[in-house]
Amino acid sequence: MQVEAASDESLIQTAQGKLPAADERRLKRLVGKSEEGRLTPLEQDDFIQLARRADRLEQTEMQPAHKNAGGF
């Protein structure tokens, strides 16, 4: 199913600490509009949500895989 494939791709990208490609493109476009001071209020909200999500994914990627591994 196409829905499952999209969901699987989203899970893979999340595991790799990346936004899905469509969200990445949208974020880049919104960054450009933000730098030009041309964001609408709706775009501003979308920009903030995508930026926060990208930041969370990046932080998750940077965490050690085995933070409870101890000193064995």
Tell whether 34 is covered by a domain.
yes
Tell whether 19 is covered by a domain.
no
* 9-27 tens-digit pLDDT: 665 555 556 889 999 999 9
Tell whether 33 is covered by a domain.
yes
pLDDT tier at 3 (50, 70, 90 boundaries)? very low
* 28-62 tens-digit pLDDT: 999 999 999 999 999 999 999 999 998 888 887 67
Tell whether 48 is covered by a domain.
yes
Taking all residues of the chain, what is their mean pLDDT, rounded to a whole number? 78
Is the CB of residue 31 less than 8 Å from the CB of residue 19?
A: no
Tell whether 13 is covered by a domain.
no
If one compares 7 and 42, the residue with the highest pLDDT of the two is 42
What is the domain count for the chain?
1
Tell whether 50 is covered by a domain.
yes
In terms of residue numbers, what domain contains 40? 26-60
Return the sign of the alpha-carbon dihedral for residues 38, 29, 15, 70.
Answer: negative
